[in-house]
Amino acid sequence: MNNIEQTLSIIKPDAVERNLADDIKDIFKKNNLNIIDAKKIHITKDEASEFYKVHQSKPFFNDLCTYLSSGPIVVMILEGKDAIKNYRKIMGATDPKKADENTIRRLFGISIDKNSVHGSDSTENAKKEIDFFFKN
């Protein structure tokens, strides 16, 4: 069965700032993740806090929201077979030092905070995250 899914990708400020968006988009295309919508935006800290609210009890929450709102980001809807799992595999572990070779975070991430990309972790969160950025 073809399990065609959509997932949300964010290219974070550290990667946008280093002009890595096109390199990252090339990796999506090579891995059969089609970009069906994309926009470059600069969100406020309040918007970042709303987006990351599942992490609000974590010690890193404040820094995380300050960081995501510190510069432009590129948000995208990716679509393809098993897109959620496929994207998480090519993204690599949250901490770039622990990510497998040739994953996006291993190639481009600087630290656990500046890890270049975000991706949805489940079908439910993919829908919520896509709606957050793309439903008006």
Please identify every residue annotated as catalytic.
Answer: 118
Q: Is the Cβ of residue 39 or residue 55 nearer to ligand CMP in the bound state?
A: 55
Stretch that binds ligand CMP, among 23-31, 35-43, 79-87, 109-117 (CB under 6 A): 109-117
25 in Cβ contact with 116 (< 8 Å)? no
Q: Which residue is nearest to ligand CMP (CB)?
A: 118
Task: Establish if 115 lies at the interface with ligand CMP (CB under 6 A).
Answer: yes
Q: Does 118 bind ligand CMP (CB under 6 A)?
A: yes
112 binds ligand CMP (CB under 6 A): yes
Should residue 105 be labelled a site residue for ligand CMP when binding is judged by CB under 6 A? Answer: no
DSSP three-state, residue 8:
strand
- Give the residue carrying structure tokens 């600087």: 110
12, 57, 124 from 105: Cα distances, Å: 11, 25, 23
Count residues binding ligand CMP (CB under 6 A): 8
Q: Is 64 a residue that touches ligand CMP (CB under 6 A)?
A: yes
- Strands 34-41 and 73-81 turn out to be antiparallel
CB 91 within 8 A of CB 104: yes
CB atoms within 10 A of CB 29: 10
Contact status: 60 vs ligand CMP (CB under 6 A): yes
Interface positions with ligand CMP (CB under 6 A): 55, 60, 64, 94, 112-113, 115, 118
